Structure 1
């Protein structure tokens, strides 16, 4: 082989002068710290200890909020509760998230279209070019409405999401208090696209559906299928309309599932599970990454041999671990059932249900 001019053989003195990689060891440390957080972070976030805050969008409290709440065992999902007296502010950000109604009745305006909801419904915000502008309204002035939002943060980054405030909530503090309590610059909207009137659809250049037999054509067909689902799929999944399913893990009703194709989004898996008085769920080993919100009851969950107590209003964050997490729920009330809402990102169709670890049923809920 002919050596090129100026080229030095491996092991030469010049090669030894190559600078040390400044990033590799930091990368190792970063992954190590994430795994340590999964091992030592909070698994149960107590609702009664979680404070309420007021911002321009509304009155909220945060159970999970990466990276700002760094003390929780799960750092991949944002979960917050909002209470609405009259109406929220209006803002725009990307969809792909779900809102579960805890209490009350109302409606949400999404890009000019109205969607009504009531307690136990699941509101879905679709994924649209540039995001979705939305505002929530309480139907009854005599009592507030409350809901929970579940946002898979990895998807938001991939969707290039940004939050742009379009209208302020009437519950926002007075301007004087806002100035007094806010940090400099917090009222400014940092938006890279707020100057655009809307999505420049002319860039797309085609309105017809894809044909052809090439693999590129297949991608365009997938595009068209998702566009149809986003446009025509359910934006509100009505809880009372869903059937209960008795399976190896227990009694469940599914709002979002990889096998369901009638909803506007598929980015989450969502179900409610009920445990009979004094009963238990099945025992599973799974990759983790699930979030539970206790709707009713009190009990305990065993996570890798450690027991955690929970009660109504608590949020439970099952950490992600590379060899999986073993868990089981118990209803400690012998008189009343317990119910909890479960949410996890739907990575299953691209990364597998095992998610690099394991998904196994270790014990059935029933004898």
Structure 2
């Protein structure tokens, strides 16, 4: 557990040379599989959402040592039966996948109900609070690209309350007039029943959020991947890093490092041998930036993975995913890109 006195919202990058090979190497050398024994932040410092009953704890964040990434932050929220948290507001989005139980949200004074295997979006500039009125514990995993908002200076957040020095400011006006038109019409809760399974080069996939859909997130792409026992996913290469939560089963992930050869232009040199990363249910598996990855289910044990990636990589020009090998169950064209 972290013993830092303050909470790290955004991590800087420094070097005495132009190249950053040492920085990347330290990230690649960090353990990529984390389990319930890893609590990098227990929310006791600088977090306003918890009540006396609710519990929040971080698995991946910018203050980690060893450091993995700040492209995505990952934490969990648990609500005992008949409970709620305090709620708060922040400018960054969050996407949370319901692992256990059921409940509802109050976002900007509107109610949104959710249940197991739903994906729920906390939209930009949302005042939100989680409720569990039922007799079973509710638990979710939350993915967010908060550091991006912080880097851009979007740092206004806190628990509901009056502003300081109200005499210096005029009357309230509608904050949402700054938003992209018609965002209020987009979906806040993605029901598992509304997201069909698809056969893809990666394998059997249920997409929860992606560019161009009507889900109210602009920062996190998410899907569920199911791998039959003894089988494997497609072998794919992306520039964005990725966090995979192991929902069910056990197995391992193979990662091939990609080195940049800078000649008359950029060339990719893919490692001849991968590194292996074993996982079990409840673990998170981190796939670094610019890495070729493939996931394997143990014999007789199907694996279900929940994936999250920061969508902004696509906006920065890295739209494609390259498949070097398709999943065995896929019957489409070879050499696919998505």
Q: With structure 2 as the length reference, what TM-score do the two structures score?
A: 0.77
SS in 2 for 1:352: coil
1:164 corresponds in structure 2 to 158
Q: Count matched residues.
A: 288
Deviation at 1:266, TM superposition (A): 2.4
Q: Cα deviations across residues 219-239 of structure 1 (Å, max 9, x unaligned)?
A: xxxx87x321x2110011111
SS in 1 for 2:234: strand
2:325 corresponds in structure 1 to 363
1:18 corresponds in structure 2 to none
Deviation at 1:198, TM superposition (A): 9.9
**1:339 equivalent among 281, 287, 304:** 304
Indicate if the aligned counterparts of 1:257 and 1:270 stay in contact, CA closer than 8 A: yes
1:8 corresponds in structure 2 to none
Indicate if the aligned counterparts of 1:301 and 1:328 stay in contact, CA closer than 8 A: yes
Using a 3 Å threshold, how does the CA distance of structure 1 residues 285 and 237 change in structure 2: closer, same or farther? same
1:238 corresponds in structure 2 to 191
Q: Find the aligned partners of 2:65 and 2:171 in 1 and give their Cα distance.
A: 35
Deviation at 1:165, TM superposition (A): 2.6
1:126 corresponds in structure 2 to 123
**1:303 equivalent among 241, 255, 261:** 255
Larger mean Cα displacement after TM superposition, 143-152 or 154-163: 154-163
Indicate if the aligned counterparts of 1:72 and 1:317 stay in contact, CA closer than 8 A: no
- Segments of 5+ residues of structure 2 without an aligned counterpart are 1-12, 257-273, 330-338
SS in 2 for 1:98: strand
Q: Find the aligned partners of 2:86 and 2:21 in 1 and give their Cα distance.
A: 39
Using a 3 Å threshold, how does the CA distance of structure 1 residues 278 and 92 change in structure 2: closer, same or farther? same
Please list, as runs of the form range in 1=range in 2, the aligned pairs for 1:154-303 lying within 5 A after superposition: 154-157=147-150, 158=152, 160-166=154-160, 201=173, 226-228=180-182, 230-260=183-213, 262-303=214-255
Deviation at 1:73, TM superposition (A): 2.6
Deviation at 1:132, TM superposition (A): 1.5
Q: Find the aligned partners of 1:264 and 1:303 in 2 and give their Cα distance.
A: 32
Q: Find the aligned partners of 1:279 and 1:195 in 2 and give their Cα distance.
A: 62
Q: With structure 1 as the length reference, what TM-score do the two structures score?
A: 0.71
Q: Cα deviations across residues 31-89 of structure 1 (Å, max 9, x unaligned)?
A: 445313322122111224447836452312211011x2131432321100110121012
Q: Find the aligned partners of 1:300 and 1:201 in 2 and give their Cα distance.
A: 52
Indicate if the aligned counterparts of 1:94 and 1:159 stay in contact, CA closer than 8 A: no
2:32 corresponds in structure 1 to 43
1:57 corresponds in structure 2 to 49
Q: Find the aligned partners of 1:296 and 1:319 in 2 and give their Cα distance.
A: 22
Indicate if the aligned counterparts of 2:107 and 2:128 stay in contact, CA closer than 8 A: yes
1:103 corresponds in structure 2 to 100
Q: Find the aligned partners of 1:317 and 1:327 in 2 and give their Cα distance.
A: 10
1:184 corresponds in structure 2 to none
Indicate if the aligned counterparts of 2:239 and 2:313 stay in contact, CA closer than 8 A: no
Deviation at 1:159, TM superposition (A): 5.8
Using a 3 Å threshold, how does the CA distance of structure 1 residues 74 and 293 change in structure 2: closer, same or farther? same
1:14 corresponds in structure 2 to none
- Segments of 5+ residues of structure 1 without an aligned counterpart are 1-23, 168-190, 208-222
* Greater helix share, structure number: 1
